């Protein structure tokens, strides 16, 4: 997205927000001034999520984060796993951390089902390969998607080392359980993925998955990694957390405590 268009949307968005205080649904323009975590000192924010997988696993087959995300974003329910749309879902820890977990690692750890989502990389390969800038990184580090510009070439899916992106092989609107009118639906033939709930950050709320998780076991912590006094800043600086495939240099911002 070019600068002037982005600035225009930003201003338009702020006006909208100020005027109505309504739920803000235009994607990609949020600045999230008033989240409790934000440093506010002019330092560039780095939104991040940390997941305590042990806590998460203690809840068994809990899918609160997934259900909240699906409902929040009008995600279609497609039964064919080859054409599924998923922004956050669970994978076996061994598949998520193939280098760190070997056959001799504790079984409970290896087989643990842990949530995976877009890592909102500092250095996102999907943004690098997209031929139309339909996916781009915001100043606060969120990797966004413009489904109106996406041509459906799927190069971003090919470039993503985490399998975090989904392609609408068919019309998703026919497969939405309960349509939410304040969030856009997508069309056939475009790519989509987690946006870290940019629309919720804009009104000072946490991402839907984190909020839902807080209501159950609180395994997910969201915040500004650039602010050392934030909860996530303290957590990441004092505990050993891992990120997926750090050797690729993508600098993921989803941290896992195994």
Binding interface with another protein (CB under 8 A): 2, 81-84, 91, 95-96, 98, 116, 125, 128-134, 149-155, 157-163, 166-171, 187-191, 248-250
- Residue among 17 and 134 whose Cβ is closer to another protein: 134
In whole angstroms, how close is the CB of 34 to another protein at the nearest point? 32
Strands 191-192 and 220-224: unpaired
**Alpha-helical segments (H) within the chain:** 3-20, 53-57, 64-72, 93-96, 107-110, 125-129, 155-159, 198-201, 208-214, 231-238
CA atoms within 13 A on the CB side of 140: 26
- Residues with Cβ within 8 Å of 222's Cβ and at least 6 positions away in sequence, in order, are 37, 47, 48, 49, 206, 207, 210, 232
In whole angstroms, how close is the CB of 123 to another protein at the nearest point? 10
In whole angstroms, how close is the CB of 25 to another protein at the nearest point? 22
In whole angstroms, how close is the CB of 148 to another protein at the nearest point? 9
- Residue among 98 and 204 whose Cβ is closer to another protein: 98
- Residue among 20 and 247 whose Cβ is closer to another protein: 247
- Residue among 24 and 97 whose Cβ is closer to another protein: 97
- Residue among 191 and 220 whose Cβ is closer to another protein: 191
Distances, alpha carbon 161 to alpha carbons 89, 105, 120, 196, 251, in Å: 16, 24, 12, 18, 12
Residue 144: strand pairing partners: 136
In whole angstroms, how close is the CB of 100 to another protein at the nearest point? 13
């Amino acid at each position: 997205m070019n600068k002037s268009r982005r600035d225009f949307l930003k201003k338009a968005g702020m006006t909208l927000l100020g005027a109505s205080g309504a739920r803000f649904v235009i994607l990609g323009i949020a600045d999230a001034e008033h989240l409790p975590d934000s440093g506010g000192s002019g330092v560039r924010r780095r939104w991040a999520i940390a997941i305590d997988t042990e806590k998460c696993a203690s809840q068994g087959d809990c899918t609160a984060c997934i259900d909240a995300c699906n409902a929040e974003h009008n995600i279609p329910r497609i039964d064919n796993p080859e054409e599924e749309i998923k922004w956050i879902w669970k994978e076996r820890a061994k598949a998520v951390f193939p280098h760190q977990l070997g056959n001799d690692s504790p079984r409970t750890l290896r087989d643990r089902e842990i949530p995976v989502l877009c890592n909102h990389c500092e250095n996102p390969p999907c943004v690098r390969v997209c031929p139309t800038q339909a996916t781009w990184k915001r100043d606060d580090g969120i990797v966004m998607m413009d489904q109106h510009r996406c041509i459906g070439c799927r190069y971003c899916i090919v470039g993503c080392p985490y399998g975090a992106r989904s392609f609408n092989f068919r019309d998703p609107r026919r497969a939405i359980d309960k349509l939410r009118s304040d969030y856009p639906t997508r069309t056939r033939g475009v790519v989509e993925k987690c946006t870290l709930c940019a629309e919720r950050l804009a009104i000072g709320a946490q991402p839907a998955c984190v909020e839902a998780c807080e209501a159950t076991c609180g395994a997910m912590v969201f915040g500004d990694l650039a602010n050392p006094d934030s909860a996530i800043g303290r957590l990441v600086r004092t505990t050993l957390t891992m990120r997926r495939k750090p050797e690729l240099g993508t600098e993921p911002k989803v941290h896992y405590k195994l």
